[in-house]
A = this chain, B = another copy of it.
Amino acid sequence: MKALERLQVHNIKPSMQRIAIMDYLLENYTHPAVDEIYTALFPKIPTLSKTTVYNTLKLFEEHDAIKMLTIDDKNTCFDIDTSPHAHFFCKKCNKIEDFNLMKPEQLKGLDQSNHLVTEVHLYYKGVCQECLRSEE
């Protein structure tokens, strides 16, 4: 899917910067943080500012075009794949990879992809009962 098309599908008004950022996300499945995107695009768009990257990613997320990942406590990362899937975070090189859901016996220890899995984190997000009530 082309960047422009994807913006339109999610009701995001296109601009040069937005297309470039969406394009980067579509071409690079590296779950990039703000700085990676900024550094990659700056040579092509020398007027680009980090503020715009922040603004744009926030906008994309609000329109459900991307998903925010809070795996790495140093950097917020973004995923163009919004469907439910798991991730693997290497605590040494800090890279995030997509990961197939694993069977319980594969958790912890060495899995078939030869990564050493030491931690499993499962989070749900949403709105709790109390907050739902107070919204009425």
Which residues of A come within 8 Å of B, CB atoms?
A: 67-73, 76, 84-93, 95, 97, 99, 101-102, 107, 113-132, 135
Contacts and interface: CB of A to CB of B under 8 A. Distances in A.
Nearest to A109: B126
6 cross-chain pairs, A with B, having the tightest CB-CB distances, nearest first: A90-B128, A92-B131, A119-B125, A86-B122, A121-B123, A118-B126
A1 to B, nearest CB: 22
Given A73-B68, A73-B76, A89 B123 contact: yes
A23 to B, nearest CB: 25
Nearest to A119: B125
A72 B73 contact: no
Given A70-B70, A72-B70, A124 B102 contact: yes
B132 A114 contact: yes
